[in-house]
Amino acid sequence: MSGLTEFQVEVSRLFFSLPASDGFLLAGGGALLASGLSQRPTRDLDFFGEQGRADVGEMRRQFLVAASDNGWRCKVIQSSESFARIHLVGSEEVLVDIAIDVAARHAPVVTIVGPTFSSEELAGRKLLALYDRAEARDFVDVFVLCEVFGKDLILARAAEIEGSVDRSSLAQMMATISRFSDEDLPIAQDRILQLREFFERWASELG
């Protein structure tokens, strides 16, 4: 069983039951949970589609109709041709992001909730999330994923997606972990020091 909540599983399965879901994959923290790569809870479900194949507008329309038919309350927070964010309230609350992103570089994997990016590609995409925004959850996810795949493989998968990753800039983003208190980092407190030392060493290696 995945680490997703029952409601998140229900929402994901509804999403992938719709005709417009063709070309979309579950991504982000939800995909890590569905793939058994993380135990960190998430409040977001990210569905990424391939440019030229996935239609965000039609997917948003179909999803809103289906969600309303299920008795869920929906509020569109943001909407454009390439991105939609929906606040969904059913048995719990969840943010649903529907977006166009870089196409999958590896064959998708089918999970209990639907198709996701491959495990290695999810790891590479999570490193790119750290590279772009460096939120507390990104540090925790990358730390856990490196224990599974190793740093070199994750760097290689990130480079496949992005084209190139500037190592000096990545090191600078890793150094920003200092702005978070121990309580900000969603990992067991007895692992905090290990996590901080891991990124300190990696940033030094990247230079």
Amino acid (one-letter) located at 75: K
* Domain identity same for 63 and 143: no
Amino acid (one-letter) located at 184: D
pLDDT in tens, 114-133: 999 999 999 999 999 999 99
Q: Last residue of a domain, which of 117, 145, 175?
A: 117
Number of domains in the chain: 2
* Domain identity same for 6 and 107: yes
* Domain identity same for 67 and 107: yes
- The burial class, CB within 10 Å (0-12 / 13-18 / 19+), for 108 is middle
Q: What is the predicted pLDDT for the residue at 3? A: 87
Query: What domain range includes position 188?
Result: 119-207
For CA atoms 188, 192, 195, 198, the dihedral sign is negative
Q: Name which of 105, 109, 92 is nearest 44 in CA terms.
A: 92
* Domain identity same for 124 and 104: no
Q: What is the DSSP letter of 17?
A: H
* Domain identity same for 67 and 163: no
- Return the CATH number at 97: 3.10.450.620
CA distance 143 to 168: 19
Q: What share of the chain is helix, strand, coil (3-state, %, to 5)?
A: 55, 20, 30
Q: Per the structure block, which two tokens stand in for 111?
A: 């999970």
* Domain identity same for 54 and 24: yes
Is the per-residue pLDDT at 164 higher than 90?
A: no
Please, are residues 128 and 141 in contact by the beta-carbon 8 Å criterion? Answer: no
* Domain identity same for 143 and 205: yes
Enumerate residues 6+ apart whose C-beta is below 8 A from 196. 177
* Domain identity same for 44 and 64: yes
Round to the nearest angstrom and report the end-to-end CA distance of the chain: 40
Residue owning tokens 């290689």: 156
Enumerate residues 6+ apart whose C-beta is below 8 A from 12. 4, 26, 30, 34, 45, 113, 114
CA distance 24 to 99: 9
* Stated pTM of the model: 0.91
Please, are residues 48 and 79 in contact by the beta-carbon 8 Å criterion? Answer: no
* pLDDT level of residue 2 (50, 70, 90 thresholds): low
Enumerate residues 6+ apart whose C-beta is below 8 A from 104. 25, 50, 117, 118, 121
pLDDT in tens, 40-87: 999 999 999 998 899 999 999 999 999 999 999 999 999 999 999 999
